Amino acid sequence: MDRSIIHLNVADFAVAVERMLDGRLKHRPVIIAPEGSARATVYDMSEEAYQFGVRKGMGVRRAIRLCKDARILPPHPDRYERAMGALLKQALHYSPLIEPGEGDGHLFVDVTGTSRLLGPPVDVAWRLHKQAQADLGLNPIWSVAPNKLVAKVATRLVKPSGEYIVGAGEEEMFLAPLALNLVPGIERDDLYKLSEFNLTQVSQVIALSLEDLQVPFELKARFLYESVRGIDSSPVLPVGQKRPEVSAEHEFGDDTNHVNVLEGTLYGLVEQVAQELRHRRVAARGIKVMLDYSDGMRCVRQTFAKPATANDLTLFEVARRTLMRAWTRRVRIRHMRLICDRLIFPQAQRELFADERAESEKRDLLIAAMDSIRDRFGPNAVRVGRTLGA
């Protein structure tokens, strides 16, 4: 059965919620950013401010220089969470398979096989749009497509308002004329590497075979091969179901930006997470580091481990690179969280480690010996010198 996925996207969600509460903000440039910090960055901005060159993550001082007439408002995450909850509640009338974004106004709804009961998917999307307008004062963009990837690209094309419908079998034709930066999952490093081969359009990458892509992209080649063709089998998760992950976090007693303290703390988190991964007999492909700064701003970065790992030493190497990507400000850090996801379960893990190199085998044996000592004499029986500084 062909799938029918609806994607709702409230453009500039934080600004839309603030305008819902204060009608005087409509049709004027708005910038949402923390107050009282010399190094504050833009949390969100209206379309009017965007046209002046304001972007998310930009320093507030620079944003004000670009858009002098903008109204500056502090972020209110609690308001945005309540608005997302109301949007989710409306969609629950149409499907139990609803996957919301992280308070950013995005919502996937799987209405596959519901046409007899609810009508065509396009009608359901239209009703969701009208209900959001009437009950919440929000004006979401919407699209209907055979999968999440294509549905998300479709809403990107009609921002800040509009609708788009992509039929089954039209995925590759729909994506072909687009720029590569519109395809979700193709990151900045990938775009840079593709540009070195003068590849900037989806159609140019479609012309390449999987073997051609494997030369420069290795393990990510299949992802690129399928993404540019609109192939995406990822399901819309049921409401409340989170992707399996393992995480650990640390709240600093005194906010810090000392490299030895941060790296030592990160290694301690890696040890906690890796031990839990080994206990579950899984390995992590995705390593995410979340930093909360003293001024309330949050920065999250993710890196993919190749291959997936549950080894402390290997995991730390990836996590440290991710930390350096997230740690881009001179403001002190208050809280650090390490998240490992995209977990590989036992059957795949055995195949993954069958051809380990000698160095990897040594690392695995070392970590296994440390686990054995800790199991017998306690978690602090063996410690890595790096953690002592933290």
CATH of the domain at 212: 1.10.150.20
- Domain limits for position 180: 172-227
Per residue in 326-377, pLDDT tens?
998 888 999 999 999 888 743 333 333 444 445 555 666 666 676 677 667 7
Q: Does residue 97 lie in a domain region?
A: no
Q: Does residue 292 lie in a domain region?
A: yes
* Domains identified in the chain, total number: 3
Q: Does residue 112 lie in a domain region?
A: no
Per residue in 138-177, pLDDT tens?
999 999 999 999 999 999 999 888 999 999 999 999 999 9
More confident: 83 or 386: 83
Q: Are residues 342 and 379 in the same domain?
A: yes
**Cut 0.75: pTM above it:** no
Q: Are residues 266 and 209 in the same domain?
A: no
pLDDT score, position 16? 94
Q: Are residues 252 and 373 in the same domain?
A: yes
pLDDT score, position 375? 67
Helix (H, G, I), strand (E, B) or coil at 136: helix
Q: Are residues 194 and 273 in the same domain?
A: no
Lowest mean pLDDT among 14-23, 62-71, 239-248, 340-349: 340-349
Q: Are residues 250 and 202 in the same domain?
A: no
Q: Does residue 303 lie in a domain region?
A: yes
| Domain closes at, from 35, 52, 76 | 76
Per residue in 216-257, pLDDT tens?
887 678 889 999 999 998 888 887 666 678 999 999 988 999
Query: Which string of DSSP letters, residue by residue, matches 67-97?
Result: -TTPEEE---HHHHHHHHHHHHHHHTTT-S-
Q: Does residue 154 lie in a domain region?
A: no
| Domain closes at, from 44, 76, 108 | 76
- Helix, strand, coil shares of the chain, percent, nearest 5, are 45, 20, 35
| Domain closes at, from 28, 51, 76 | 76
Q: Does residue 148 lie in a domain region?
A: no
Structure confidence at residue 3 as a pLDDT band (50, 70, 90)? very high
Residue 215 pLDDT > 90? no
Mean pLDDT of the chain: 86
Q: Are residues 324 and 369 in the same domain?
A: yes
CATH of the domain at 376: 3.30.1490.100
User: Taking the CB of residue 85, how many other CB atoms lie within 10 A of it?
Assistant: 11
